[in-house]
């Protein structure tokens, strides 16, 4: 896991990072973060336990344990990634390990939505393109520069036309995916609207009268 974790906020238009390949179809959320780690009070420590059981089985040879991948931030996966349980802990664990974007053949719908909600863009490519990238990463260090505005990724000797839902792309570019920041930026508008609501004042007076009693 990375020594420092930075929560993404606001507009996201470019993501640069080293790729880490994870080969296999139908990798479900229980493999990404086993159920015993769901009892956590917050998500802060989940990065340490991402793919915990798979990593134990491979005894240091799992991609997330290899020294050459310790600074990777763009995950390359195959089909139906994130299937199974709808647990939001799965993308939270990946993000806290250091993943900033995922490129795959396809994603489970709820996992995809959970990723978008916390600022992890998920892109798709055809099967042969994904396998080409994964094979490339087996032999060479691959650093990708992703341009969300044009849905494009490039490396020194590689260029990719990525696919992403248009609604998701617009949310990242505008910053609307980040509901908390959007609310904070519009705090004055929210307060003004709150003060304009007549039933708010009525309910407040009702509560005061009830507390005062007869």
> Which is more confident, 211 or 134?
134
Residue range 172-207, pLDDT digits in tens: 999 999 877 665 565 665 566 656 766 555 455 455
Do 113 and 207 sit in the same domain of this protein? no
Q: What is the C-alpha separation between 2 and 40, in angstroms, rounded?
A: 19
pLDDT at residue 1 in the model: 47
Q: Which domain holds residue 196?
A: 178-214
Check: CB of residue 32 under 8 Å from CB of residue 90: yes
pLDDT at residue 38 in the model: 84
Asked whether residue 81 is assigned to any structural domain, the reply reads yes
Nearest to 98 by CA among 73, 123, 132, 116: 73
Asked whether residue 9 is assigned to any structural domain, the reply reads no
Residue range 100-127, pLDDT digits in tens: 999 999 999 999 999 999 999 999 999 9
Number of domains forming the structure of the chain:
2
How far CA 212 is from CA of 199, 200, 205, in Å, comes to: 20, 19, 11
Asked whether residue 6 is assigned to any structural domain, the reply reads no
Nearest to 120 by CA among 149, 103, 105, 100: 100
pLDDT at residue 212 in the model: 52
Do 80 and 172 sit in the same domain of this protein? yes
pLDDT at residue 211 in the model: 53
Residue range 34-91, pLDDT digits in tens: 998 988 777 888 999 999 999 999 999 999 999 999 999 999 999 999 999 988 999 9
> Which is more confident, 193 or 13?
13
Q: What percent of the chain has pLDDT over 90?
A: 68
């Amino acid at each position: 896991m990375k020594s420092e974790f930075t929560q993404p906020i606001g507009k996201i238009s470019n993501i640069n990072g080293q790729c880490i390949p994870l080969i296999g179809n139908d990798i479900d959320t229980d493999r990404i973060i086993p159920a015993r780690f769901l009892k956590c009070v917050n998500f802060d420590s989940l990065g340490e336990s991402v793919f915990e059981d798979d990593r134990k089985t491979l005894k240091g040879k799992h991609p997330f344990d290899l020294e050459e991948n310790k600074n990777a931030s763009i995950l390359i996966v195959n089909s139906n990634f994130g299937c199974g349980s709808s647990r939001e802990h799965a993308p939270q664990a990946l993000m806290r390990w250091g993943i900033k974007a995922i490129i795959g053949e396809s994603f489970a719908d709820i996992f995809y939505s959970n990723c978008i909600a916390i600022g992890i863009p998920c892109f798709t490519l055809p099967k042969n393109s994904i396998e080409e990238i994964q094979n490339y990463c087996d032999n060479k260090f691959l650093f990708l520069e992703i341009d969300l505005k044009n849905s494009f990724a490039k490396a020194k000797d590689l260029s990719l036309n990525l696919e992403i839902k248009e609604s998701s792309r617009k949310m990242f570019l505008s910053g609307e995916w980040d509901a908390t920041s959007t609310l904070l930026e519009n705090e004055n508008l929210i307060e003004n609207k709150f003060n304009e609501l007549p039933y708010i004042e009525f309910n407040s007076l009702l509560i005061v009268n009830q507390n005062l009693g007869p």
